[in-house]
């Protein structure tokens, strides 16, 4: 059976979202120390200043930012694993 690339994208997206949410939750509930430092470490990729296009009638503001932490990377890896084995 041939799998669609869209299904892979959905698995990656869901795995990354669940990992990111879990990382944010663990950052809040974990005690001060090494564990919290691990979960609070993240990096952001994207446009820092949103692009604004004013066409008098319509004003468009476009922006994009990814906040990636360790558990979101593990979640995307789990998504790839599930995609290959399901």
Q: How many domains does the chain have?
A: 1
Buried b (16+ CB within 10 A) or exposed e, 14-27: ebbebbbebbbebb
Give residue-wise pLDDT tens across range 43-83. 888 888 889 999 999 999 999 988 899 999 999 999 999 99
- Cα–Cα distance list, 12 to 22, 28, 67, 73 (Å): 15, 24, 15, 10
pLDDT band at residue 10 under the 50/70/90 scheme: very high
Domain of 39, in residue numbers: 5-85
* Cα–Cα distance, 52 to 58 (Å, whole number): 11
């Amino acid at each position: 059976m041939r799998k669609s690339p869209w299904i892979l994208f959905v698995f990656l997206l869901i795995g990354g979202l669940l990992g990111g949410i879990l990382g944010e939750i663990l950052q809040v509930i974990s005690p001060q120390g090494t564990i919290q430092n691990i979960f609070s470490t993240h990096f952001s990729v994207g446009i820092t200043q949103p692009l604004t296009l004013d066409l008098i009638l319509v004003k468009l503001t476009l922006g994009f930012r990814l906040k990636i932490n360790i558990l979101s990377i593990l979640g995307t890896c789990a998504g790839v694993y599930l995609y290959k084995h399901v």
